[in-house]
Amino acid sequence: MSSAPYKVLFLCTGNSARSILAESILNHIGKGRFRAYSAGSHPAGRVNPLALEWLNQQMFPVDELRSKSWDEFAAPGAPRMDFVFTVCDKAAGEVCPVWPGQPMTAHWGIPDPAAVRGTDREVRHAMADAFRQLSRRISLFVSLPFDKLDAMAIKREIRAIGSLDDARAPAATSQSHS
């Protein structure tokens, strides 16, 4: 693995809610060990206002957040990623660019809060739920003992994190890291 900070790219189709939440969460709880980015295959061109509102309420960073294309991260001179996570099913099925440096990849699908149509309460609940699920997965990710795991073990762990059923998730991934 590369030296810290580890660079992590979260991908989604629109880059307006889930990947934006993930970028902010990791930059906040990663405490300088990680540098998160987000992008979309077909960016919406704006960040979902409710995602920004939610992050502000949680006192998470929002200043650098913007909806952008994943092409920015496949271009010459782009930061070399250590990890790339898809957080929506549509982007997981798309043909992704070739990422410089061959980062480790995993799918961490989360229901799209920006797609919820309903009452204000239902929409806000969906955003809170996406934030909670991403926070749990990212917390597990940052707690991995990267210095004690080989590449295959890290790949196994990041994929296990993505397959967690957050409603019934155990306290840790498949292995104990004591």
Catalytic (active-site) positions: 12, 88, 96
For residue 9, the surrounding DSSP H or E stretch is: strand 6-12
3-state secondary structure of 94: coil
Which helix (H) or strand (E) element contains residue 49?
helix 49-57
**Residue 166 to residue 136: CA distance in whole angstroms:** 8
Contacts of 116 (CB under 8 A, 6+ apart): 122, 123, 126
Beta carbons of 122 and 107 less than 8 angstroms apart: no
What pairing do the DSSP bridges indicate for beta strands 83-86 and 6-12?
A: parallel
Q: Roughly what angle, to the nearest 10 degrees, separates helices 120-142 and 151-162?
A: 160
H/E element, 137? helix 120-142
One-letter identity of residue 10: F
Structure tokens at 90: 């549509």
